[in-house]
């Protein structure tokens, strides 16, 4: 039987500057027709909680990317939540050090919100994962900061890089931690008319 999507798929615009998101999509065979990074103010509002924050930012990114009425825009936002505290991308090495000290030896939550827009229709999901960082020594933190790998990463670490050596335990979606939860994203793309799987 032929599915309704056996014709042409709508154009897909990846609204992201993140090479990780592009690579994760490529992992499931999805290659965007265009990449347009959104430009929005990512500062949390006063007292804003992490879940509300990531959901709002992903939605704003999806609205900020220009697209035709039948094009699909895919955006996401990842943040690290330590209790009610939002740890975004560190501004500099000092802030990165402070984040790593706060996360050392503790469990925290990584939240990735995905927002998909096609014309006026919007699909959104927030996917969580729990991550434990081992207790970090001063040498480990200094060594990791020297790699520069913390730059541009929520919570000042990236599980897929050298900081993988700091992570003894996770629960939940690994790809949500890296920046784009693939199971949920594939489902959302299918809902919006851009299925990952094509009938052979």
Ligand X SMILES: Cc1cn([C@H]2C[C@H](O)[C@@H](COP(=O)(O)OP(=O)(O)OP(=O)(O)O)O2)c(=O)[nH]c1=O
Q: Which residues contact 30 (CB under 8 A, 6 or more apart)?
A: 12, 186, 189, 194, 196
Interatomic CA distance for residues 47 and 118, integer angstroms = 31
The answer to whether residue 177 forms part of the interface with ligand X (CB under 6 A) is: yes
CB of 66 to ligand X, least distance (A): 15
Indicate which single residue of 16, 109, 175, 185 sits in contact with ligand X (rule: CB under 6 A). 16
Give CA 60 to chain center in angstroms.
14
The answer to whether residue 17 forms part of the interface with ligand X (CB under 6 A) is: yes
CB of 4 to ligand X, least distance (A): 30
The terminus-to-terminus CA distance of the chain in angstroms comes to 11
Catalytic choice (33, 39, 70, 77): 77
Indicate which single residue of 62, 65, 78, 103 sits in contact with ligand X (rule: CB under 6 A). 78
Is 77 catalytic? The answer is yes
Indicate which single residue of 158, 182, 188, 189 sits in contact with ligand X (rule: CB under 6 A). 158
Binding mask 36-75 for ligand X (x = CB under 6 A): -x--------------------------------------
CA angle 193, 200, 125 (to 5 degrees): 30
Residues from 112 through 141 that contact ligand X (CB under 6 A): none
Per CB under 6 A, the segment of 24-32, 65-73, 77-85, 138-146 that binds ligand X is: 77-85
Per CB under 6 A, the segment of 11-19, 91-99, 141-149, 186-194 that binds ligand X is: 11-19
Indicate which single residue of 44, 119, 152, 193 sits in contact with ligand X (rule: CB under 6 A). 152
**How many CB atoms within 10 Å of residue 166?**
20
Query: Is the separation of the CB atoms in 156 and 95 below 8 Å?
Result: yes
Query: Is the separation of the CB atoms in 126 and 51 below 8 Å?
Result: yes
The answer to whether residue 32 forms part of the interface with ligand X (CB under 6 A) is: no
The two tokens of residue 73 are: 């825009």
Please tell me the number of Cα atoms within 13 Å of 172 on its side-chain side: 19
Give CA 175 to chain center in angstroms.
8
Helix (H, G, I), strand (E, B) or coil at 112: strand
Interface with ligand X (CB under 6 A) = 16-18, 20-21, 37, 76-78, 80, 89, 110, 152-155, 157-160, 177-179
- Positions marked active-site: 77
């Amino acid at each position: 039987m032929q599915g309704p999507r056996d014709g042409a798929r709508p154009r897909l615009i990846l609204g992201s500057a993140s090479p990780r998101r592009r690579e994760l999509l490529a992992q499931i065979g999805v290659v965007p027709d265009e990449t347009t990074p959104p430009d929005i103010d990512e500062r949390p509002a006063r007292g804003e909680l992490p879940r509300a924050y990531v959901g709002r930012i992903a939605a704003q990114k999806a609205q900020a990317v220009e697209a035709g009425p039948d094009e699909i825009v895919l955006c996401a936002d990842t943040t690290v939540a330590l209790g009610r505290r939002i740890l975004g991308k560190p501004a500099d090495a000092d802030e990165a050090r402070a984040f790593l000290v706060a996360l050392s030896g503790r469990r925290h939550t990584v939240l990735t919100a995905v927002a998909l827009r096609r014309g006026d229709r919007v699909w959104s999901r927030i996917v969580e994962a729990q991550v434990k960082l081992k207790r970090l020594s001063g040498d480990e933190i200094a060594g990791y900061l020297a790699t520069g790998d913390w730059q541009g990463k929520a919570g000042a670490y990236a599980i897929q890089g050298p900081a993988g050596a700091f992570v003894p335990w996770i629960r939940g979606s690994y790809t949500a931690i890296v920046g784009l939860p693939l199971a949920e994203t594939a489902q959302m793309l299918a809902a919006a008319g851009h299925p990952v799987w094509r009938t052979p």
